[in-house]
Amino acid sequence: MNKVLTSLALIFLVTSFTVAHAQEAQYPIVKDFGGIYEIRGSVQPDSGIEYKIVIDLKTLQDDKNQINPGMNNIARMMNLHGLGGVSSDNIHVIVAVHGGATETILTNEGYRRKNGISNPNLELIDALEDAGAEIYVCGQSLLARGYDQAEVNPEVTIGLSMLTIVTEHMHKGYQLLVFD
């Protein structure tokens, strides 16, 4: 009897582990980026809240061929709220790009001039904007890093600075998150 119970317990554990790890990534708000997974029994975000978030994005990806992990985390954050029942109408995201992350918002030509390859972040930026995120780049960072305004992705708005973008939105009720 003990061998039968042990065998059944082992089968249950293996099946549970396989099912839990066989989940496919979900993209409820930002399509094709920031894939997330349902966690059964976990605490969910309050779907009745209007989320207003301003994100300080400052760190560049190490691998210039890959998307910026911080930018992908923005997609993940939006998708996690969506998976938790928050409608896309109730999540408002402002992204203030500066510092090392500045090159993520360059056109292909600008990115190619700097890194010798096409910008892998352009589709992610389009997907974020299609999902309602507003992306700004710090004008001070553009100047400090020697980028011309013409090299900025036309989907991105140039702000005076990251500091003014963040403080303005915080006064409008946005909560600050810092993504390295």
Summarised one tens digit per residue, pLDDT across range 90-107 is 999 999 999 999 999 999
Q: What is the pLDDT of residue 23?
A: 87
Mean pLDDT of the chain: 91
pLDDT score of 12 more than 70: no
pLDDT score of 1 more than 60: no
104-142 exposure pattern, b = at least 16 Cβ within 10 A, e = fewer: bbbbeebbeebeeeebbbbebbebbbebebbbbbbbbbb
Give the integer Cα–Cα distance in Å for 39 and 20: 9
pLDDT score of 18 more than 50: no
pLDDT score of 129 more than 70: yes
Give the integer Cα–Cα distance in Å for 91 and 56: 17
The closest alpha carbon to 142, from 133, 128, 153, 155, belongs to 153
Q: Which residue has the tokens 């998150």?
A: 177
Cα 35 versus chain centre, distance: 10
**Domain interval for residue 39:** 3-179
Confidence of residue 180 (pLDDT cuts 50, 70, 90): confident
pLDDT score of 6 more than 80: no
Q: What is the pLDDT of residue 179?
A: 85
pTM for the whole structure: 0.86
The CATH number of the domain holding residue 7 is 3.40.1260.10
Looking at per-residue pLDDT, the higher value among 132 and 10 belongs to: 132
Q: What is the pLDDT of residue 151?
A: 97
Confidence of residue 22 (pLDDT cuts 50, 70, 90): low
Q: CA torsion sign, 164 to 165 to 168 to 174?
A: negative
Give the integer Cα–Cα distance in Å for 84 and 39: 10
Q: How many domains does the chain fold into?
A: 1
Q: Calculate mean pLDDT across residues 42-71.
A: 96
